Amino acid sequence: MVTFNHSDSGTPEKAWQAAHLPDRCTSLGVSGLERLIVVSAHPDDESLGVGGLIAHVAGLGLPIIVIVLSNGEASHPNSSTHDPARLAQLRRIEVTDALAHLAPNAQVRLLELPDGKLTENVDIAEGAINEAIGDAGDSTWVVAPWRADGHPDHAAASSAAERAVRTHRARLFEYPIWAWHWSTPDDAVWSAETVRVFELKPAEREAKARALALHRSQVRPLSESPGDEAIVPAGFRAHFARDFETLIEVHVRPKPQPDAHADPNQSLPAGYFDTVYSYGSDPWGFETRWYEKRKRAALLAALPRQRFGAALELGCSTGVLTAELAERCDTVLGIDLVEQPLGIARQRLAGRPGVSFERRALPGDWPEGEFGLIVLSEVGYYCSAADLRRLLERCRASLAPGGALVACHWRHPVVDYPLTGDAVHAQLTHVVGLQRTVHHLERDFVLEVYEQRPALSVAQRDGLVP
């Protein structure tokens, strides 16, 4: 994530004008567009980024839905005159006034998610965008903040939009805002292959300027007190007075359709996961979904010891859980079937002592050595019943004396997986020599810990009970 300070002078608009982006990039037309869905992380993002496009589509009489994810209440964290509640109230009024000017017939949906914490609420945002898209095809455009804009809320809005589009045939575009401030025209992010320019008519430019002016709490100081300075001062606002708007087209491959004829006697091949990762670097939302963060926290809390020696993580993916395991283990070996997520994992944990990653096809290509902790999280149901039995036996044989095997799996059926999560954990109960010491069951996932017999409880290890 790029770091920047909005109070810095940034790249002047004259530098962007000299770059002549319209001469370098493809012009974007709206031929075939039948409906526009605009996603805004904060009130004013939509007016800054695509106010002209909104006005143009409104002029065509096409339906428009604008989804504003937060109230923008964190815009002035150091204000002594406006608390977050008052800012939220002002900004709700401002965005509805601005959109009434740009597109009087647009539907405006205010989700009122917490400003600055959209990363923790991607699921809710995704659901709202999914609902807006409905059964639409590629005649619907979804336009969201740019994932590389340098603001975590913008990245979260982009993630929610991409996930929603993956289940539909809508087209996805993203609009930069803060990138005009921290970037320069020579940066590689402005690739002619993906950047599109949408030319604005004079009336559309005027409508956009008026809409921006209606976001008074952002374009004007709240007061003369320190901390009440304008967030979008004149110098920065100049980037949005151009006679064109800039969008980045994101080519999203559709979500893979389940194979109704999945063979329970055949483990999923590497090619399946290569396809999944071709849709994005975080296809399961490990980094953004609250569900995943909460589940990791539950898994870590279930570990029977505060610290372990050597740990083995099966199916480590991009290393999100690996990073947290490394805080509790002397060494961690992460294994995955495909190379793309391993590259991300290695980069995530570069320089972290004791952490390594290997590409292996399990259960056949099993690593040597003993491990005090083996983590089998969201992996078992990819195996055939026979491969799962082999995998669990190898886990048992590789546990160091006093070691623990923790398993966690999604419980809802996925038709293209050979097994269900419940079937995986049912098989765990048959592993000879292991005793279940933790059993946590929810509607969504099952989490269990198995230790070598006889196993002491955590309280017994701490001397609290005999």
- Phi and psi, residue 158, nearest 5°: -60, -45
DSSP string, 161-201: HHHHHHTS--EEEEE-STHHHH--TTSTTS-TTTEEEEE--
Q: Residue 148 pLDDT more than 90?
A: no
Distances from the Cα of 374 to the Cαs of 302, 402, 421, in angstroms? 13, 12, 17
Q: Residue 420 pLDDT more than 60?
A: yes
Q: Which residues pair with 250 in a beta bridge?
A: 172
* Backbone angle region of 442, left / alpha / beta, with phi > 0 → left and psi within -120 to 50 → alpha: beta
Closest-CA residue to 311 (of 342, 341, 356, 352): 356
| Range in 90-104, 129-143, 400-414 with the lowest mean pLDDT | 129-143
Closest-CA residue to 80 (of 230, 231, 224): 224
Provide the percentage of residues in the chain whose pLDDT is more than 90.
79
Q: How far is it, in rounded angstroms, from Cα 331 to Cα 344?
A: 19
pTM (2 decimals)?
A: 0.60
Q: Which residues pair with 408 in a beta bridge?
A: 377, 447
Q: State how beta strands 171-175 and 140-145 pair.
A: parallel
Distances from the Cα of 120 to the Cαs of 240, 283, 349, in angstroms? 29, 16, 22
Among all chains, which residue has been given the structure tokens 């810095």? 8
3-state helix/strand/coil string of 294-321:
HHHHHHHHHCCCCCEEEEEEECCCCCHH
Q: State how beta strands 195-199 and 244-250 pair.
A: antiparallel
Closest-CA residue to 61 (of 19, 93, 104, 15): 104
Quick one: how far is CA 54 from the chain centroid? 26
Write down the mean pLDDT value for the chain.
Answer: 92
Closest-CA residue to 209 (of 234, 229, 176, 180): 234
Q: Residue 2 pLDDT more than 60?
A: no
Q: Residue 257 pLDDT more than 60?
A: no
* pLDDT band at 258; cut points 50, 70, 90: very low
What is the per-residue pLDDT for 189? 78
Helix (H, G, I), strand (E, B) or coil at 332: strand
Alpha-carbon torsion (444, 418, 270, 377), positive or negative: positive
- Here the tokens at position 197 are 């320019």
253-269 average pLDDT score: 65
Closest-CA residue to 164 (of 140, 196, 188, 185): 140
| Range in 92-96, 231-235, 411-415 with the lowest mean pLDDT | 411-415
243-259 average pLDDT score: 74
Among all chains, which residue has been given the structure tokens 């601005």? 98
What count of other Cβ atoms lies within 10 Å of the Cβ of residue 296? 18
Q: How far is it, in rounded angstroms, from Cα 372 to Cα 172?
A: 46
Q: How far is it, in rounded angstroms, from Cα 393 to Cα 344?
A: 30
257 Cβ contact partners less than 8 Å away, ≥ 6 residues apart: none
CB 355 within 8 A of CB 349: yes
pLDDT in tens, 178-227: 999 999 998 877 877 778 999 999 999 999 999 999 999 999 999 999 99
Q: Residue 88 pLDDT more than 90?
A: yes
- Phi and psi, residue 338, nearest 5°: -125, 155
What is the per-residue pLDDT for 253? 58
Could you tell me how many residues make up the chain?
Answer: 466
- Here the tokens at position 161 are 């939009």
CA geometry: angle at 436 spanning 432 and 442, to 5°?
130
282-297 average pLDDT score: 87
Q: How far is it, in rounded angstroms, from Cα 114 to Cα 288?
A: 15
- Here the tokens at position 56 are 């143009």
228-240 average pLDDT score: 94
CB 252 within 8 A of CB 133: no
